[in-house]
């Protein structure tokens, strides 16, 4: 009887989580339209009254546009977070090096701009994992973007990627030479909307690492971090090499 109750509770919890994710998707999508209208009208006012605007007026318009842009970024990240389990693709065997290369390619403009370099140390480029390749690309893209964002002032980011295999898992590390952080905050950084730095200094929505965690957990894996202030940060991902479960779109 107790086992049956537990099963029903888990089914109900799963249903509620799915409903919440679908609600977040719909709500986030519907919020985009009024933001687009607000931005459009602000630009229209600015163009019509350009010669009549004083410095204070221009500053107000700047902050309106900045707030709209920040809100759009937040909504986009919320949509991405809600889609992790509601808009899924079939798992397949994929080469981990190709996944990482795609993530680097997606960030190429900022990599070139900041002089970021990548190193592969003890990395087996022929390893394949059973995964959603697009979601795994997003994980590495978020981690690399994080390393670039939190690089030391006037010092290019150096990102070192390593891997090792066990019988059933692949463990990947992404190490940087950035500003690091107090390791006591290691759990907090994976929680949605949790930030360790002010948005003025390091722009962002505080969702990127939450997305990484949710994707890795969907793959029956775990993600954790080690860091030291002023030295750098290393993220670790442990993910099954293969799985006999069938994932259906």
- What are the φ/ψ torsions at residue 194 (nearest 5 degrees)? -90, 125
The pLDDT assigned to 141 comes to 93
In CATH terms, the fold of domain 92-240 is Heat Shock Protein 90 (3.30.565)
Q: For residues 190 and 182, what is the distance between their CA atoms, to the nearest angstrom?
A: 14
The pLDDT assigned to 248 comes to 37
- Quick count: other Cβ atoms within 10 Å of Cβ 237? 23
Q: Span 2-86: which CATH code?
A: 1.10.287
The pLDDT assigned to 88 comes to 62
β partners of residue 173: 162, 236
Closest among 100, 237, 230, 104 to 176, alpha carbons compared: 230
Q: For residues 91 and 246, what is the distance between their CA atoms, to the nearest angstrom?
A: 8
The pLDDT assigned to 249 comes to 36
Where in the chain are the domains? Answer: 2-86, 92-240
Strand order in the sheet with 169-175: 117-120, 158-165, 169-175, 232-240, 222-228
Tens-digit pLDDT string for the chain (249 aa): 556 655 665 666 566 566 666 666 666 667 777 777 778 878 887 788 777 778 887 788 887 877 777 777 767 766 776 667 665 678 889 999 999 999 999 999 999 999 999 999 999 888 999 999 989 999 999 999 999 998 998 889 999 999 999 888 999 999 999 998 888 777 778 776 555 554 555 555 567 888 899 899 989 999 999 999 889 999 999 999 876 544 433
């Amino acid at each position: 009887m107790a086992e049956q109750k537990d099963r029903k509770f888990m089914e109900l919890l799963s249903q509620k989580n799915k409903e919440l994710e679908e609600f977040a998707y719909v709500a986030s999508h519907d919020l985009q339209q009024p933001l687009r209208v607000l931005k459009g009208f602000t630009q229209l006012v600015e163009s019509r009254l350009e010669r009549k605007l004083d410095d204070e007026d221009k500053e107000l318009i700047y902050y309106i546009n900045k707030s709209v842009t920040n809100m759009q970024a937040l909504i986009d990240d919320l949509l991405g977070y809600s889609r992790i389990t509601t808009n899924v693709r079939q798992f397949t065997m994929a080469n981990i090096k190709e996944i990482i290369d795609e993530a680097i390619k997606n960030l190429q403009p900022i990599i070139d701009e900041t002089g970021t370099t990548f190193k592969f140390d003890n990395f087996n480029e022929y390893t394949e994992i059973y995964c959603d390749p697009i979601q795994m690309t997003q994980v590495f893209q978020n981690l690399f973007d994080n390393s670039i964002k939190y690089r030391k002032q006037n010092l290019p980011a150096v990102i070192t990627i390593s891997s090792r295999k066990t019988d059933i898992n692949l463990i990947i590390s992404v190490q940087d030479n950035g500003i690091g952080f107090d390791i006591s905050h290691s759990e907090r950084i994976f929680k949605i909307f949790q930030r360790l730095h002010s948005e003025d200094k390091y722009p962002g929505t505080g969702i990127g690492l939450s997305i990484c965690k949710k994707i890795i957990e969907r793959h029956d894996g775990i993600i954790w971090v080690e860091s030291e202030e002023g030295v750098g940060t290393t993220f670790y991902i442990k993910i099954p090499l293969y799985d006999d479960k069938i994932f259906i779109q």
